[in-house]
């Protein structure tokens, strides 16, 4: 009985807001085709895939495809690197995005505001290949921009490409530089959606600008922040392959501090076309992310039920 009532209410909701559901339809079709229809492909991780036999006709090998990560002894190192980099990416990027969004929303000069938004957003549209070229021209030992300045001021050249610890900061810098603009726009959209009447009431009550930010803006941005953080945690084992590969390339000296799961798998499997091992790593990343999102969402639901995903 309850099921029938639920379907009836859902049908009524569709009839009432059919235009909104029609706008949502392309996204639903996209996810069905590329996320749910392809989900049985995860079975490739447990077989010795043979294109001639197909996925379900290939020989079942269980967890053997996961062994190449464990046997080499690199699983802990690359997992740790991937986790640490992504945690730093999440914390710093969201902090900077929120700060910039609030700062720009407080600016009253429209022209300056638009120019600032454009300048901050521009790196988002730059290819990671171009970012890699930027980095090389900055840090190259022989004629890099930084080393040229050091030499002109009487200093000695610094070998960036043979100093692993420096790249922890360089990678974080370029990630923040490239991704800040897009996230800032999302947070600015959230601020724009806050009713102006709330700010007017606080202004009448004598609240200062910092009090309005602390007591109105930040609390009302919290649901968006939690949602974006949960989405980010879902891909916390995805190593931003384009960023790492284009900055580091095949420089083995830097692998210890810059190697992540995606770059390690690429080097290990390139040329071998081992689809099964690649699928095994992808499944490992997805399951880890799923468990993490479910766990964090459970904690959020206990503390702030309205901000949880489900």
**Could you tell me the maximum CA-CA distance found in the chain, to the nearest angstrom?**
84
Q: What's the burial of 180, exposed, middle or buried (CB within 10 Å: 0-12/13-18/19+)?
A: buried
Q: With contact defined as beta carbons under 8 Å apart, do 287 and 39 qualify?
A: no
Cα–Cα distance for residue pair 253/162, rounded to 1 Å: 6
Predicted confidence band at 91 (pLDDT cuts at 50, 70, 90)?
A: very high
Nearest to 182 by CA among 250, 101, 236, 248: 101
33-89 pLDDT, tens digit each:
988 888 888 888 899 888 888 888 888 988 888 887 777 777 888 889 999 999 999
Query: For position 7, what pLDDT does the model report?
Result: 67
249-281 pLDDT, tens digit each:
888 899 989 989 888 888 877 766 778 888 888
Report helix, strand and coil shares of the chain as percent, to nearest 5. Answer: 80, 5, 20
186-225 pLDDT, tens digit each:
999 999 999 888 888 888 888 888 999 999 999 999 989 9
**DSSP class of residue 270?**
T
Query: For position 95, what pLDDT does the model report?
Result: 95
Query: For position 4, what pLDDT does the model report?
Result: 59
Q: With contact defined as beta carbons under 8 Å apart, do 243 and 175 qualify?
A: yes
Query: For position 30, what pLDDT does the model report?
Result: 92
Q: With contact defined as beta carbons under 8 Å apart, do 38 and 279 qualify?
A: no
Cα–Cα distance for residue pair 160/158, rounded to 1 Å: 6
Helix (H) or strand (E) holding 112: helix 110-121
Cα–Cα distance for residue pair 238/246, rounded to 1 Å: 16
Q: With contact defined as beta carbons under 8 Å apart, do 301 and 308 qualify?
A: yes
Query: For position 5, what pLDDT does the model report?
Result: 61
Task: Enter the pTM of the model.
Answer: 0.83
Cα–Cα distance for residue pair 141/157, rounded to 1 Å: 7
**SS3 assignment, position 54:** strand
């Amino acid at each position: 009985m309850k099921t029938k009532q639920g379907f009836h209410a859902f049908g009524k909701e569709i009839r009432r807001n059919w235009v909104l559901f029609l706008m949502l339809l392309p996204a639903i079709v996209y996810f069905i085709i590329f996320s749910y229809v392809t989900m049985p492909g995860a079975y490739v991780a447990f077989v010795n895939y043979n294109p001639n036999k197909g996925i379900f006709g290939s020989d079942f090998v269980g967890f053997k495809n996961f062994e190449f990560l464990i046997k080499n002894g690199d699983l802990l190192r690359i997992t740790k690197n991937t986790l640490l980099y992504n945690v730093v990416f999440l914390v710093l990027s969201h902090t900077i995005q929120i700060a910039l969004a609030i700062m720009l929303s407080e600016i009253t000069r429209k022209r300056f505001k638009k120019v600032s938004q454009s300048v901050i957003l521009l790196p988002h549209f730059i290819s990671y290949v171009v970012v890699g070229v930027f980095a090389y021209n900055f840090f190259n030992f022989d004629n890099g921009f930084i080393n040229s300045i050091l030499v002109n001021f009487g200093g000695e050249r610094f070998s960036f490409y043979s100093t692993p610890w420096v790249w922890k900061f360089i990678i974080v810098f370029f990630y923040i530089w490239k991704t800040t603009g897009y996230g800032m726009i999302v947070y600015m959209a959230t601020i724009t959606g806050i009713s102006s009447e709330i700010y007017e009431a606080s202004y009448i009550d004598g609240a200062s600008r910092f009090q309005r930010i602390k007591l109105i803006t930040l609390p009302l941005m919290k649901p968006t922040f939690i949602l974006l953080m949960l989405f980010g945690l879902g891909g916390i084992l995805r190593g931003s392959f384009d960023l790492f590969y284009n900055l580091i390339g095949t420089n083995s000296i830097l692998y210890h501090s810059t190697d992540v799961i995606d770059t390690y798998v690429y080097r290990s499997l390139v040329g071998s076309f081992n689809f099964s091992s690649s699928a095994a790593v992808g499944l490992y990343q997805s399951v880890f992310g799923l468990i993490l999102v479910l766990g964090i969402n459970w904690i959020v639901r206990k503390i702030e039920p309205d901000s949880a995903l489900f």
